[in-house]
Structures are given as structure tokens and as C-alpha cells.
């Protein structure tokens, strides 16, 4: 499977990878040490005779066909296996910190260029626990969002002093007017929701095409992840809807190592249809603050500022 | 509020607010946070064939919060409701600012939070506060701790904060909440619409007196609630003992040249249960309150002349149940639907006088989320005089425009119609269109 790590400069797709595997198998077939049977047949005596030649050609056709079929069957699985390994590494980078407390500035920019700024404080642990508090602007100050395992979502509205459970159907919706959906805001592990359907390298980046796993309740029909091959830090994500249309693009830059963890300082999510985009800048981050699971409660949702 | 008494209260409120702010800023290392909003409101009310501009209040809310220590927080908010029209009817009042520019001022909320009081799992909140109970969306039959705020009929689900001591004890996934409210507060009604609350034999000019419960510890109100989770379902059971905030007629005195109705706040106990969960991405909630009223007798007393008196039962002590079942779902492309079925509105009491309401709301954000369209509506079904069903209808559309942060401009309507005997039929004279501008800081 080393072929997969060979550079492929053209934009990747599944058929190109299949062709590469076929070439790999042909090279292997010519080496007697890897397949003695093939080597023996190539050296059959009397091959110059027409009937024998035709017979030999038929054999070759059958073998080629077999190789191609095997390739078609095996390659996606093989690709996926390798892609899954890369995805596991990407996830492990995303999930590496035990917990995180971050101050983020979100700038909402519409197609005409007018801007709105949101500031949020995020407390996160693993992929399942999130507590987000809005600090600015004034109209949403104090609003809190809590995500607990099993997709239990709660919203705290300080004007009503009420914690309200919200249905997970809201996951597809934009989070407080940003281009990030509730699902995007809480996505830190891709493996549980998506499987790798294709994998290639492009412009020095590892590229994974992800499809939703059967039965998983996700809003996107396809994701394409671009990751740094050295650090496995995500650099870009293309989001597609269920009909295969590209809907959003997330670009990630200014990646720094903060403490022991690679951290993107700046992300931009762009909605293709409207041209609206959200620039998310990491103002401050602290890792491994020892947040316990019991920190992520309605008690703290109402209180933490 | 008007006159010298009102002015004293205004001054008192300002002084309390100033002292709180000063104390907070001087006494603690952490600077207090200030915020609030200004809400300017215009109402165009249909009155018969005419449309008049209602003298509806605007609001200025000032909020202050500070954390003097890791376990302690203070919060106070001041609300000024100021009116656009002068009630001046005499030349001598032209020199009085409070007559020309009426303003109601009150400390809206003011409380102290102590986190980890005595034990790490105990939180305490003391002071004037809002205590929301129940999982339904605004139509909460178990939310009886704070009085209703009907001062704006368009926003009839609001409540007024009350002075209370609240303790929350966190026990793993469960929370036990205990509330004590020393005082009893009646509903806040809309200006000039007190007659919306019907009484038998009501005629204009009759005096309607309200007698509040005596201020004794025995008459204070209390509530208990246990909240927990069962798998994916959030559940709670609650108990409330106190008073209904909607006045009920206790009796009537007939005297030569003077007739007086006496109202009281009926004693009630409410056993509540609520849940919230989701299925297939849809939010589902339910809430029920079983009301145990005290028997309420209505007396007729004729003073002078015949000097007769007799009593009838106005509200029997039979328990009755109010409930709300509802759900919501956000469809792809941002269509949000919310539906609730409510049995027994806030002002209804007694098992034979509970109407059914189907309340629907459809919302959609457009123009890059700058404009929110909201279509709200309700259908009411009630038992008529002859036992036949009668129906009422309400339609509450709203457009909310947000061009820039912290500014919200709303245009909405409130239209009702209904057969006699329905709640909506009582609001026929308040059909209105409103325009609101809200700036938050």
C-alpha cells in the first residue's frame, strides 16, 4: 500500500488511484519472486505457435480482467483503510487536548463586506462536551449553549432566566448568525460520523473524501478534508449537501503550536450560495485546565461568564 | 405611577440603583458590568371604526452585575416605563413634569447569588428574581411562582420578578430546588383594560376592591422541585403552595348609592410534572399542573333597605388539571415550526372553565438572517353556554429586521376574533399593529 503515499500531482480521484494500483500489480506480476505461477506461464515453450498464442492471449485477458476486478474491489477498501488511518490521525490531533478554554472572535462578513463581530468563550472537553458563552455583542451577551452526550443541546437565555432544551434538528442551522452550524461548532471527531470514500494527495496536502456512515444523523452529504501531512492538522474542509452540491468551505491558517498542541489561530467559513463568511480568530486559548465532566452542567451554563 | 407618591418611589429606585452601582465598583476588585436596552414602542389600536395611537409604554432597562468573589455575584436591573402622551387635564398640571411625562420606575430584578453555600453543591439566590418553571415554550401551567405580566397583551407570557429565597441542591444529575416567597403579588394588568377580567353582574362605576392576603409567615408561598434525567428525557416534578395571582370575586356589597365588589387572590396548591426530550430531531415537551384550589364562596350583601345576604359557591374545591403539550422542528433551509396544545390558560380556573388552545408559530430567517418572518396563530375551543363548542382565533404575525448589531426593528400585529364566551372575544378592542425599535447596550 505504499503507492498511496507516492505523490500524485493531479487533482485526485478514485479512478486515478485505481490505475495506479493496476500498474503496481503489473510490476508485481513481472517479478517471479512475488508470483511464481505467473512467471512460469510467461516462459511456456511453443508460445510462438498461433493456437498457443491465442490461448495464451486469452489467458492473459482473463488474468488482466481478474486483476482489474480484484483491483476494483480491493482498492476502495484498501484506500479507505489507509484513509481511515489518516482520518484517525486527524481526529487524534483534534481530540489531543484533554480540555480547552478559548476566547474566540467571530467576524460575520456579508457579500457586501459589512461586518458584525461576536465574541464567545468556549469550554470544551473531547468531542462530546461543549459549553459556549456569548460575550458580545450586547444583544446576545450571556446567552449560553451547552452540548452534552447523546446530542442533548441546551440554550440559556438570560433575559428569561430559562434553560431551554433545543431539538437536534437545529444542528443544521447557523449558530447565532455565523456560517458555522451548531454541528460545525461541535465537530471534533469525524470518524464516528463519516467514513473515508477516497483518499489522495494534492498540492502537498492529504485529501480525504468522507461520506456519512449509515445511520448517522449528519447534515452534510460529503466532506472533503485537506490535512497537513506532517502534523495532520486540518487546513481546509469542503462541505457538500446531500445532492452533492458544494455549500461551504472552511479554510484554516495561522497554525501554531501552543503548548503541546497544534492550534489554528484563524479559520474562515464561507457559504458559497450567499457569499457570506465568518472569520473565527482565536484570541486566547488554554489547554488541559482539568475540566471535569461535571463542569458541563446546566448549573454552569447559567453562571459561567 | 403619578403624583408625589410616584415621584418618591422614582427617587428611591434611582438612589438604590446608584448605591448598588457605587458599592459594586468601590468594594470589589472586579469591575461591574453594565448593560440594558431601550425599547421604543408604538401601538396603533383599532377601536371601533377608528384607529388610535395607544398610550403604550416605552422601556429603558439598566442592568448591572458584578462578581465580588469567586462564590458571590450581585445583579440588579432597573426598569423605567415612560409614556408618550400626557394625561394632563388641567392647566395647573402643565407645570408638573410627572403629569406631562409620566414614568413608572421599578427595580425589576435585584438579587445576590451565593455559589457553594455551606456545601459545594448548594447555590443560593436571594432577592427579587424571576423563577421560571416548566418545559413548555412560554405556556407553562406549572410556572406559578412569579405573577403574570399582562401589561403588554402582545407578549402575554411574560412574568414579573418577585422577592424570593431560592436554594438549588445539585445531586449528581438531579437538582432539588426549594423556593420561599414571603410576599404575594397579584397580576400586572394592561393600562385601562382591567375590565378584561370578567365578573358576574359587572357594571361601570362599581368599585372593585382587592384584598390581598395578610402578610404573615403562614401566608407566604413556597415551592419545591426535583429535576432529573431519565435516559434522553429531562423530567421534573414540582409542588407549589401559594396564591393564584389572578384576582377572583369574593363578594359584592349593595348599598344605597354604592356598590362594591370584593376580590381576593384564591389559595391554590399545584402539583406539577414536566418533561422535555426529542425524537427524530424534533423537540417534544409536556407539562401538567394539577391544581388543588380552596373552595371559594361568593357572597351578596345588601346593606340598608332589605339588609339581606347569602352565599354561593364560586369555585368548588375540586382539583383540575391544566397542561401543555408541544413540539418544534427546524426543517432544512431554516424553517422553524413550533406547535403547542394548551388546556387551560393562565386566567382560567375550575375544571369546567378550562379552554383548549392550539398555538402555532412558523419562523424563517431571510436576507442573510437580517429579516425574521414569524407567523403565529392560535385557535381556541371552549364550551359555550348551551354546552356547544364555541371558537376563538388569534393571529400574531411579526417581522423583525436586524441590519446592524444591537438594533432590532419589529413590525407586528395582534388580531383576535371569537364567539362570545371565548377568551379571544374579550380582546376584540385591542386589535393592534405595533412598531418597536430596540437598541441594546
What's the mean per-residue pLDDT of chain A?
78
Cα separation, B383 vs A283, whole angstroms: 61
Integer CA distances (angstroms), A173 to A141, A178, B279, B367, in order: 20, 9, 18, 15
- Is A117 in the same domain as A72? no
* Chain B residues close to A111, C-beta within 8 Å: 368
Residue A73, phi then psi, degrees to nearest 5: -80, -40
Which chain B residue lies closest to A176 (C-alpha atoms)?
Answer: B369
Beta bridge mates, B351 = none
Residue bearing the bigger pLDDT, B413 or A95: B413
Report the SS3 class of residue A299.
Answer: helix
Tell me, what's the pLDDT at B44? Answer: 95
- Judged by a CB distance cut-off of 8 A, whether residue B35 touches chain A is yes
Q: Is A297 in the same domain as A234?
A: yes
- Of residues A78 and A38, the one with the higher pLDDT is A78
Q: Are B410 and B398 in contact (CB under 8 A)?
A: yes
The verdict on B85 touching A (C-beta cutoff 8 Å) is: no
Q: Which whole-number Å values give the CA distances from A238 to A108, A207, A227, B280, B417, in the listed order?
A: 19, 11, 12, 27, 52
Question: What is the C-alpha separation between A255 and A281, in angstroms, rounded?
Answer: 11
Give the pLDDT of residue A24. 31
- Work out the minimum CA distance from A259 to partner chain B, whole angstroms: 27
Residues in A closer than 8 angstroms to B406, CB to CB, are 137-139
In this predicted structure, the answer to whether residue A100 has a pLDDT above a threshold of 90 is yes
Q: Which of chain A's residues have a Cβ under 8 Å away from the Cβ of B334?
A: 173-174
Q: Give the integer Cα–Cα distance in Å for A288 and A286.
A: 7
| CA-to-CA separations, B308 to B7, B202, B255, B296, in angstroms, rounded | 44, 20, 11, 20
DSSP notation for A161-230 = TEEEEE-GGGGGSBGGGSSSBHHHHH----TTTEEEEEEEEETTEEEEEEEEPTT---S-SEEEEEE-TT
Give the CA distances from residue B259 to residues B212, B221, B263, in Å, rounded to whole numbers and listed in that order: 20, 32, 13
Same-domain pairing of A130 and A267: yes
B91 at A interface, C-beta within 8 A = no
Residue B34 at interface with chain A, using a CB cutoff of 8 Å: no
Contact A169 B123 (CB under 8 A): no
pLDDT for A186 beyond 80: no
Q: Are residues A54 and A170 in the same domain?
A: no
The verdict on A243 and A125 lying in the same domain is yes
The pLDDT tens digits of the residues spanning A220-245 come to: 999 999 999 999 999 999 999 989 99
Burial A82-92 (b: 16+ CB within 10 A, else e): bbeebbebbbe
User: Is some CB atom of chain A closer than 8 A to the CB atom of B332?
Assistant: yes
Report the residue from A137, A138, A152 with minimal CB separation from B232. A152
Both A134 and A32 in one domain: the answer is: no
pLDDT of residue A54: 55
Q: How far is CA B204 from the centre of its chain?
A: 26
Same domain for A57 and A179? no
Number of residues that make up chain B = 441
H-assigned helices in B75-219: 97-100
Which residue of chain B is at minimal alpha-carbon distance from A277?
B368
Looking at the 3D structure of chain A, how many domains does it have? Answer: 2
Cα(A98)–Cα(B195) distance, integer angstroms: 62
Helix ranges (H only) for chain A are 14-30, 36-42, 50-94, 182-186, 298-303
Q: Least CA distance to A295: which residue of chain B?
A: B172
User: Domain boundary at A68, A94, A120, which?
Assistant: A94
User: Phi and psi (nearest 5°) for B424?
Assistant: -65, -25
Q: Write out the DSSP string of B376-396.
A: EEEEEEEE-TTS-EEEEEEEE
Helix (H) or strand (E) holding A106: strand A99-109
Does the structure show a pLDDT above 60 at B136?
Answer: yes
Q: CA B134 to CA A162: how far, in whole Å?
A: 9
Query: A139, A151, A156, A299: best mutation site toward chain B, by most B Cβ within 10 Å?
Result: A139
Chain B positions touching A166 (Cβ under 8 A) are: 283
Q: What is the mean pLDDT of residues B313-338?
A: 92
Considering only alpha carbons, which residue of chain A is nearest residue B369? A177
Residue B88 has pLDDT above 70, yes or no: yes
Strands B248-255 and B296-302: parallel
Q: Are residues A104 and A117 in the same domain?
A: yes
Residues A59 and A127 in one domain: no
- Cβ neighbour number for residue B172 with a 10 Å cutoff: 10
Check CB contact under 8 Å for B278 and A167.
yes
Contact between B330 and A172 using a beta-carbon 8 Å cutoff: yes
Per-residue pLDDT reduced to its tens digit, A138-183: 999 999 999 998 889 999 999 999 999 998 888 778 887 889 988 8
Tell whether A13 and A112 lie within a shared domain.
no
Query: A48: pLDDT confidence band, cut at 50, 70 and 90?
Result: very low
Rounded average pLDDT over A64-83: 57
Per-position b or e across A133-153, b if 16+ CB within 10 A of its CB: bbbebebbbbbbbbbbeebbb
Instruction: Please identify, among A64, A94, A124, the residue that sits at the C-terminal boundary of a domain.
Output: A94
Q: Is the pLDDT of residue B352 over 70?
A: yes
Integer Cα distance of B419 and A59 in angstroms = 89
- Please count the other Cβ atoms lying within 10 Å of the Cβ belonging to residue B308: 10
Q: How many CB atoms lie within 10 A of CB B32?
A: 21
- Are residues A110 and A126 located together in one domain of the fold? yes
pLDDT of residue B90: 85
Q: Residue B277: list chain A partners with CB under 8 A.
A: 165
pLDDT in tens, A49-59: 455 555 665 66
List chain B residues with CB under 8 Å of A165.
Answer: 135, 234, 276-278, 283, 285
Domain termination site, one of A51, A71, A94 = A94
Enumerate the residues of chain B whose CB falls inside 8 A of the CB of residue A160.
130, 132
pLDDT for B20 equals 58
Residue of A nearest to B327 (CA): A167
- Is the pLDDT confidence value at B430 over 90? no
Question: Which pLDDT score, from 0 to 100, does residue B192 have?
Answer: 67
Residue A224's beta-bridge partner residues?
A: A209, A238
- Residues present in chain A in total: 305
- The confidence band for A79, taking pLDDT boundaries of 50, 70 and 90, is low
A137 and B440: CB-CB below 8 Å? Answer: yes
**Is B380:B357 a contact under the CB 8 Å cutoff?**
yes
Instruction: Provide the residue range defining the domain that includes A49.
Output: 2-94
Select from B147, B144, B132 the least CA-distant residue to B344.
Answer: B144
| CB contact at 8 A, B409 and B386 | no
Residue A8 has pLDDT above 50, yes or no: no
Residues of A in contact with B115 (CB under 8 A): 303
Q: What is the pLDDT of residue A211?
A: 95
Are residues B73 and A303, on separate chains, in Cβ contact within 8 Å? yes
Give CA separation, A231 vs A127, A186, A205, A223, A238, in Å: 20, 22, 11, 20, 19
- A167/B328 CB distance under 8 A: yes
- Smallest CA-to-CA distance from B183 within B128, B145, B220 is with B220
Q: Looking at the structure, do residues A160 and A269 belong to the same domain, yes or no?
A: yes
Mutate to test the interface with B, among A107, A161, A241 (most CBs of B within 10 A): A161
**Of A110, A138, A169, Cβ closest to residue B440:** A138
CA distance B193 to chain A (A): 25
- What pLDDT is stored for residue A53 in this prediction? 53
Write the CATH number for A276: 2.50.20.10
What residues in B contact A217, CB-CB < 8 Å?
A: 281
Residues of B within 8 A of A110 (CB-CB) are: 368
Give the contacts of B120 (CB within 8 A, at least 6 positions apart): none
pLDDT (mean) for A185-199: 85
Q: Which of B132, B278, B406 sits opposite A137 (nearest CB)?
A: B406
Residues 6+ apart with CB under 8 A from B382: B355, B356, B389, B390, B391, B392, B419, B421, B422, B423
CB B289 within 8 A of CB B270: yes
Average pLDDT over residues B301-306: 75
Nearest to B232 by CA among A150, A146, A127, A296: A150
Interface contacts A/B by beta carbons within 8 Å:
76
- What is the CA A143 to chain-centroid distance, rounded? 29
Residues of A with CB under 8 A from a CB of B: 110-111, 116-117, 137-139, 141, 150-152, 160-162, 164-174, 177, 217, 274, 276, 297-299, 303, 305
pLDDT on residue B256: 77
Residue B115 sits at the chain A interface (C-beta within 8 Å):
yes
| B405: contact with A, CB 8 A cutoff | yes
Amino acid at each position: 500500500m505504499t503507492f498511496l503515499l507516492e505523490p500524485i500531482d493531479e487533482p485526485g480521484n478514485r479512478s486515478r488511484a485505481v490505475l495506479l494500483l493496476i500498474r503496481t500489480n503489473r510490476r508485481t506480476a513481472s517479478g517471479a519472486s512475488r508470483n511464481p505461477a505467473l512467471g512460469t506461464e510467461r516462459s511456456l515453450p511453443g508460445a510462438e505457435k498461433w493456437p498457443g498464442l491465442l490461448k495464451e492471449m486469452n489467458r492473459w485477458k482473463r488474468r488482466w480482467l481478474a486483476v482489474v476486478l480484484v483491483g476494483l474491489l480491493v482498492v476502495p477498501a484498501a484506500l479507505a483503510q489507509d484513509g481511515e488511518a489518516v482520518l484517525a490521525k486527524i481526529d487524534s490531533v483534534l481530540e489531543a487536548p484533554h480540555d480547552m478554554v478559548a476566547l474566540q472572535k467571530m467576524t460575520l462578513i456579508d457579500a457586501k463586506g459589512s461586518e458584525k463581530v461576536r465574541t464567545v468563550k468556549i469550554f470544551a472537553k473531547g468531542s462530546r462536551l461543549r459549553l459556549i458563552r456569548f460575550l458580545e455583542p450586547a444583544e446576545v451577551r450571556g446567552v449560553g449553549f451547552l452540548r452534552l452526550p447523546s446530542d442533548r443541546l441546551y440554550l440559556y437565555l438570560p433575559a428569561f432566566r430559562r434553560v431551554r432544551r433545543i431539538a437536534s434538528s437545529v444542528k443544521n442551522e447557523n449558530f447565532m448568525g455565523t456560517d458555522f452550524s451548531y454541528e460545525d461548532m461541535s465537530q471534533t471527531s469525524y470518524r464516528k460520523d463519516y467514513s473515508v470514500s477516497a483518499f489522495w494527495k494534492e498540492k502537498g496536502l492529504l485529501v480525504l473524501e468522507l461520506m456519512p456512515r449509515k445511520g448517522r444523523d449528519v447534515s452534510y452529504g460529503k466532506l472533503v478534508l485537506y490535512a497537513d501531512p506532517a502534523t495532520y492538522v486540518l487546513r481546509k474542509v469542503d462541505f457538500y449537501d446531500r445532492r452533492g452540491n458544494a455549500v461551504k468551505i472552511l479554510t484554516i491558517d495561522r497554525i501554531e503550536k501552543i503548548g503541546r498542541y497544534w492550534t489554528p489561530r484563524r479559520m474562515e467559513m464561507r457559504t458559497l450560495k450567499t457569499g457570506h463568511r465568518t472569520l473565527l480568530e482565536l484570541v486566547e486559548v488554554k489547554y488541559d485546565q482539568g475540566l471535569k465532566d461535571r463542569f458541563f452542567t446546566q448549573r454552569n451554563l447559567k453562571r459561567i461568564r | 405611577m403619578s403624583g408625589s407618591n410616584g415621584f418618591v418611589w422614582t427617587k428611591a429606585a434611582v438612589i438604590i440603583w446608584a448605591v448598588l452601582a457605587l458599592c459594586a465598583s468601590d468594594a470589589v476588585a472586579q469591575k461591574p458590568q453594565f448593560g440594558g436596552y431601550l425599547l421604543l414602542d408604538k401601538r396603533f389600536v383599532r377601536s371601533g371604526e377608528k384607529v388610535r395611537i395607544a398610550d403604550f409604554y416605552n422601556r429603558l432597562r439598566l442592568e448591572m452585575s458584578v462578581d465580588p468573589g469567586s462564590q458571590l455575584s450581585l445583579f440588579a436591573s432597573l426598569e423605567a416605563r415612560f409614556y408618550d402622551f400626557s394625561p394632563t387635564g388641567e392647566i395647573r398640571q402643565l407645570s408638573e413634569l410627572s403629569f406631562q411625562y409620566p414614568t413608572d420606575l421599578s427595580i425589576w430584578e435585584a438579587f445576590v447569588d451565593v455559589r457553594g453555600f455551606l456545601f459545594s453543591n448548594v447555590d443560593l439566590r436571594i432577592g427579587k428574581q424571576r423563577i421560571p418553571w416548566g418545559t413548555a415554550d412560554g405556556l407553562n401551567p406549572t410556572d406559578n411562582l412569579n405573577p403574570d405580566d399582562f401589561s403588554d397583551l402582545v407578549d402575554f407570557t411574560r412574568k414579573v420578578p418577585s422577592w424570593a429565597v431560592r436554594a438549588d441542591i445539585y445531586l449528581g444529575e438531579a437538582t432539588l430546588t426549594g423556593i420561599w416567597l414571603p410576599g404575594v403579588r397579584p397580576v400586572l394588568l394592561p393600562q385601562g383594560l382591567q375590565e378584561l377580567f370578567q365578573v358576574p353582574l359587572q357594571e361601570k362605576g362599581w368599585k372593585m376592591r382587592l384584598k390581598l392576603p395578610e402578610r404573615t409567615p403562614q401566608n407566604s408561598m413556597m415551592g419545591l422541585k426535583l429535576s432529573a434525567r431519565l435516559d434522553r428525557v429531562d423530567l421534573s416534578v414540582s409542588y407549589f403552595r401559594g396564591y393564584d395571582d389572578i384576582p377572583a370575586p369574593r363578594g359584592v356589597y349593595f348599598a344605597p348609592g354604592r356598590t362594591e365588589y370584593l376580590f381576593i387572590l384564591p389559595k391554590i396548591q399545584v402539583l406539577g410534572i414536566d418533561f422535555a426530550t426529542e425524537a427524530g430531531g424534533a423537540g417534544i415537551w409536556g407539562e401538567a399542573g394539577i391544581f388543588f384550589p380552596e373552595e371559594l364562596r361568593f357572597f351578596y350583601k345588601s346593606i340598608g333597605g332589605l339588609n339581606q345576604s347569602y352565599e354561593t359557591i364560586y369555585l368548588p374545591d375540586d382539583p383540575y388539571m391544566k397542561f401543555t403539550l408541544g413540539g418544534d422542528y427546524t426543517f432544512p433551509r431554516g424553517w422553524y415550526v413550533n406547535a403547542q396544545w394548551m388546556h387551560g390558560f393562565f386566567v382560567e380556573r375550575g375544571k369546567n372553565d378550562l379552554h383548549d388552545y392550539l398555538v402555532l408559530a412558523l419562523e424563517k430567517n431571510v436576507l442573510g438572517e437580517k429579516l425574521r418572518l414569524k407567523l403565529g396563530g392560535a385557535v381556541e375551543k371552549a364550551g359555550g353556554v348551551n354546552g356547544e363548542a364555541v371558537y376563538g382565533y388569534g393571529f400574531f404575525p411579526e417581522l423583525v429586521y436586524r441590519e446592524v448589531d444591537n438594533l432590532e426593528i419589529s413590525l407586528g400585529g395582534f388580531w383576535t376574533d371569537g364567539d362570545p364566551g371565548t377568551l379571544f372575544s374579550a380582546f376584540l378592542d385591542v386589535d393592534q399593529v405595533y412598531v418597536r425599535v430596540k437598541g441594546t447596550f
